[in-house]
């Protein structure tokens, strides 16, 4: 049931006190006015500075006096049908006189066609009012509303866009308030005179402004491309097939939103790079969650922050929620001496993962599969679990090509990529990148460009993680070999390193 229908139902059912948390004051007031007109109710709007507005008889009543504003509700005739919209009234709910007055009114209004609507940017309801106040969420603009606004602007500017470009702009705007959408589209029109597909970047910048207002999530600029990932062909194919799954066309086809992806594997094998590349390829904002920020000292605050994180992510949907090293955040739940805070936060989080209907695609990475709670691995939390192992020789050649193509694009042919890949067994992608940095230092110190031999010399000086953390990697490899995850790389048979079984 949408807001309009539910609000009208509450009016007919004579719910006395309705609390609407929203930042879209103008838009929600327009929706309330429309619903009130359907039931022949007069709308009275009050704020602390101006008092009541719009009605000449009561103009200015209750100015800087919230208690007097509530008294007007009683002064109207019993049969007078009305809706009283109280802006920012949540600030006065802790006052004993205001709380008592609202309780008294709640009793009286059950028998009258009058309703009090409190508008607020957040839900802050004192315990003594919780039984008489009904919270009604006001959703952000949906695809139809955004599309109508975009169509109006296109007609006003004489812009013509293909339907695919319109869908992408609408999808990018999803999660912003109508005011922010109008503002960013007006900025695009002021810049070029017309709307273009490139304006998606302006919309994403507007979303960054929203993220900067929270201390829980970080907005990451996603500049990495799928082509920047060396190897991992199975994983890349899986991602490419789902590139259009957030479009309205996919909804009409019957496709559900993709839920998420868990990348388990050895450190430095490209798991975090993949999260960034997904956001860039799908043209979605990338939000990074530092789970440590969810935990606070005050009782109940950690759970509150978790709910706030969910609200922010869903408000900015469709988006990518990147949780790096989730195994460290929720390792050893039962053994923590924090009065169950970690367990409650984890419970709230996994429940949301299983039940969410919003287009928030979760990309979680983990290095230690043994530390992950079994509940997180259950089907329904993620669409797929991929194991990202050490790159094969062919994949290492691709990784060298990617890095050298970025570092020495004019001189790439001078490097023996095949030899470099052959001479660096058991090296991860991150370690290959570090080898090239070391080789550059060798060449720079001798006032010349670095060569294939410099790269091999640098490789001989670095001990890969596959040797220093052999036991941990052995466990990961055995877990993947048992068929408990899908392989990110195309390899025949069991996971191999250059043709040798993980033993």
Show pLDDT as tens, one digit a residue, over the chain (503 residues). 689 999 999 999 999 999 998 889 999 999 999 999 998 999 999 999 999 997 778 888 999 999 999 999 999 999 999 999 999 999 999 999 999 999 999 999 999 999 999 999 888 888 889 899 999 988 888 888 898 988 888 888 888 888 888 888 887 887 788 888 888 888 888 887 778 878 887 887 777 777 776 677 888 877 888 888 888 899 989 998 988 888 878 888 998 889 999 999 888 888 888 988 998 888 888 888 887 777 765 545 677 778 778 877 887 788 899 988 888 777 656 555 555 777 878 888 888 888 888 889 999 998 887 778 888 887 778 999 999 988 999 999 999 999 999 999 998 999 999 999 999 998 999 999 999 999 999 999 999 999 999 999 999 998 888 888 888 888 888 888 888 888 998 864 334 444 333 33
* Phi, psi values for residue 365, rounded to 5°: -120, 150
Q: Is 96 helix (H, G, I), strand (E, B) or coil?
A: helix
In this predicted structure, what is the pLDDT of residue 347? 83
In this predicted structure, what is the pLDDT of residue 214? 67
Nearest to 271 by CA among 385, 427, 147: 385
- Helix locations, 216-267, DSSP H: 233-241, 248-253
CA-CA-CA-CA dihedral for 202, 203, 208, 211, to nearest 10: 170
In this predicted structure, what is the pLDDT of residue 332? 57
- Helix locations, 120-256, DSSP H: 143-157, 163-173, 178-192, 200-211, 233-241, 248-253
402 — alpha (psi -120 to 50), left (phi > 0) or beta? alpha
CA 182 to CA 288: how far, in whole Å?
27
Looking at the domain 3-135, which fold is it?
Rossmann fold (3.40.50)
Specify the DSSP class assigned to residue 335. G
Query: Per DSSP, what are the bridge partners of residue 436?
Result: none
232 — alpha (psi -120 to 50), left (phi > 0) or beta? left
* Phi, psi values for residue 469, rounded to 5°: -120, 50
Q: What is the CA radius of gyration of the chain?
A: 29
CA 34 to CA 492: how far, in whole Å?
63
Q: Which CATH architecture has domain 393-425+429-463?
A: Orthogonal Bundle (1.10)
- The two three-digit tokens of residue 44, written as one number: 């009275």
Q: Can 3-135 and 143-213 be said to share one CATH topology?
A: no
Question: Count H helices, E strands: the chain?
Answer: 21, 15
In CATH, the number for domain 220-388 is 3.40.50.300
Domain boundaries, the chain: 3-135, 143-213, 220-388, 393-425+429-463
User: Which class does domain 143-213 fall in?
Assistant: mainly alpha
CA 188 to CA 192: how far, in whole Å?
6
In this predicted structure, what is the pLDDT of residue 101? 95
* Cα 68 to the center of its chain, rounded Å: 42
Residues 227 and 281: beta-carbon distance below 8 Å: no
pTM of full prediction above 0.75: no
């Amino acid at each position: 049931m949408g807001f309009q229908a539910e609000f009208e139902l509450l009016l007919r059912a004579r719910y006395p006190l309705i609390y609407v948390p929203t930042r879209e004051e103008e838009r929600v007031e327009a929706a309330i006015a429309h619903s009130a007109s359907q039931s022949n109710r007069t709308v009275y709007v009050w704020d602390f500075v101006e008092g009541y507005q719009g009605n000449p008889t009561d103009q200015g009543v209750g100015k800087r006096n919230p208690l007097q504003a509530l008294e007007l509700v009683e002064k109207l005739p019993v049969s007078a049908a009305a809706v009283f919209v109280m802006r920012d009234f949540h600030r006065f709910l802790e006052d004993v006189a205001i709380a008592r007055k609202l309780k008294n009114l709640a009793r009286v209004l059950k028998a009258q066609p009058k309703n009090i609507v409190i508008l607020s940017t957040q839900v802050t309801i004192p315990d003594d009012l919780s039984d008489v106040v009904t919270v009604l969420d006001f959703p952000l603009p949906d695809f139809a509303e955004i599309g109508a606004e975009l169509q109006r602007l296109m007609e006003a500017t004489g812009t013509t866009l293909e339907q695919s470009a319109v869908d992408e702009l609408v999808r990018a705007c999803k999660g912003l308030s109508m005011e922010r959408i109008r503002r960013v589209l007006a900025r695009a029109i002021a810049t070029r005179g017309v709307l273009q597909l490139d304006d998606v970047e302006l919309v994403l910048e507007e979303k960054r402004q929203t993220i900067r207002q929270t201390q829980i999530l970080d907005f990451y600029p996603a500049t990495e491309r799928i082509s920047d990932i060396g190897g991992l062909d199975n994983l890349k194919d899986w991602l490419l097939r789902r590139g259009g799954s957030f479009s309205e066309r996919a909804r009409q086809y019957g496709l559900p939103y993709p839920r998420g992806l868990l990348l388990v594997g050895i450190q430095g094998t490209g798991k975090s790079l993949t999260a960034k590349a997904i956001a860039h390829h799908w043209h979605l904002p990338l939000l990074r969650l530092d789970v440590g920020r969810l935990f606070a000292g005050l009782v109940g605050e950690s759970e509150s922050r978790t709910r706030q994180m969910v609200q922010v992510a869903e408000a900015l949907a469709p988006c990518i929620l990147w949780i790096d090293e989730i195994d460290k955040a929720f390792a050893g739940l039962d053994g923590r001496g924090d009065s169950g805070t970690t367990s409650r936060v984890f419970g709230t989080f996994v429940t949301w993962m299983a039940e969410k209907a919003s287009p928030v695609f979760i990309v979680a990475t983990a290095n230690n599969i043994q530390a992950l709670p079994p509940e997180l691995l259950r089907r329904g939390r993620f669409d797929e679990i991929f194991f990202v192992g050490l790159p094969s020789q062919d994949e290492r050649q691709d990784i060298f090509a990617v890095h050298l193509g970025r570092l020495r694009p004019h001189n790439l042919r001078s490097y023996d990529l095949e030899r470099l890949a052959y001479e660096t067994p058991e090296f991860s992608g991150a370690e290959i990148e570090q080898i090239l940095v070391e080789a550059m230092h060798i060449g720079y110190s001798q006032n010349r460009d670095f060569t294939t031999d410099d790269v091999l010399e640098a490789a001989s000086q670095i001990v890969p993680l596959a040797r220093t953390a052999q036991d941990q990697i052995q466990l990961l490899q055995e877990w993947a070999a048992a068929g408990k995850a899908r392989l990110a790389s195309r390899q025949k048979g069991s996971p191999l390193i250059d043709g040798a079984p993980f033993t």
